[in-house]
Structure 1
């Protein structure tokens, strides 16, 4: 794919690269493309894992393109099927998404990263939520970040806009692993291939259960699981893969997952 969003497929893995020089900022058109890419990934049974990264070595993504906004892109415009960046409001996204943060990641770029399931960072990556200095609110980050890291650290980031380097981001827990810049994508692919070899129906059930549990009491979500009221859980419990897991364990062999 040409344009601001590049894609590459190898086996069951989709690589998505945000490529808008100079900084990979996202305008409305780019956000809509990203939404279409991730919707198609979600709906393609042959694809099991996605990797999201940025082009170049300096920027992952600074979020909203202020130049485009100045030229007429409305902040409350049509971001596309997945909301800003294509991921954070995409319904039924039940496949793992890995974010490989290859550089500066702030504002809406950090919100996009937080919409992924696993975040890997290059050693030189840095993170911030500077919206406070522009007189606006980092809305998605205000919802997500206090649930991911200690409340007081999240509020300091939101209130002050201060920067965190990769080491501190890792220490507070919203970065899984740090890698050398020239090893980041190889490590992201290694993680993706590990997940792609796993049971896709189980991953789907995990993601739906986690989403449901965010806004409910523990027992309410447990009741939905045990009563098979969640679509992915019901699909899993009646699947060939569910039986394959039991058979492989009994036969002392590796399971062969078919996603059905």
Structure 2
């Protein structure tokens, strides 16, 4: 299997495992990733996901040999790697070691938080292969960092160090080499301590409100947040605070 999954507490860990091609994505890997992201959203016992690559690299992007053989690693309605067109509804953290290039970089951009090793590197390098970055990178990168810096990275196809990505706030946490997954799991644990309904709704509001006007923000926010406020978990959160204990979430 080129994709492995495991559960750690309330965290669902998804790992790409294709060492011979630095975890580049082919059609089969895209299908397995899409299934893993669907499982992340469907499982009531997990709150957050972590996406990682095995053997010291995150993902080198599109498997060009598979591409030349006629494979198209794009899933209908989900896009490249089963991710870039429709990310999961639950928060997803990228744990980046080594290379995150081309489509691999677009996968990072489709994640909500990024933990990167100090020697990791990124690159939107499609133009160097005569291609356009069509997996959402041209939309997401200018939203996450200053537009002129994003354009420079996109138009040059330059290799970007993790420290530079951290400077422009693309990377949340910069960690020692070899520790990206462990530190991403720590961050996921912080997220997972919170109410799962509230976490999911909070991500939904942040993502969807990019298209809302100021006038409609509070009404549309209420449509998402009011059911959470009325949930059993909201009562449990308040009760646990009053009683001085940790909440026991049920996701209801």
TM-score range for the pair, normalised by the shorter chain length = over 0.9
Please tell me whether residue 190 in structure 1 is matched to residue 186 in structure 2. yes
Whole-Å Cα distance in 1 between the matches of residues 10 and 241 of structure 2? 24
Q: Which residue is 1:113 aligned to?
A: 108
1:134 aligned residue: 129
Aligned residues between the structures: 250
Deviation per CA, 1:165-204: give whole Å up to 9, x if none: 1110000111011111232222122112221111111111
Question: 2:10 aligned with 1:12, yes or no?
Answer: yes
Tell me the TM-score normalised to structure 2 length.
0.93
Within 5 A, what are the aligned runs for 1:157-236?
A: 157-226=153-222, 228=223, 230=224, 233-236=225-228
Provide the residue aligned with 2:46 in structure 1: 47
Q: CA 1:110–1:78 in 2, change beyond 3 Å: closer, same or farther?
A: closer
Q: Which moved more, 1:134-143 or 1:247-256?
A: 247-256
Unaligned regions of 5+ residues in structure 1, if any?
none
Distance 1:215 1:258 in 2: 31
In the alignment, the residues of structure 1 paired with residue 140 and residue 102 of structure 2 have an alpha-carbon distance, to the nearest angstrom, of 13
TM-score, normalization: structure 1?
0.90
User: What displacement does 1:113 show?
Assistant: 0.8
- After superposition, the CA RMSD in angstroms is 1.7
**Following the alignment from structure 2 to structure 1, what is the Cα–Cα distance between the partners of residues 60 and 226?**
40
- Residue 61 (structure 1) aligns with: 59
Give the drift of 1:254. 3.3
Unaligned runs of 5+ in 2: none
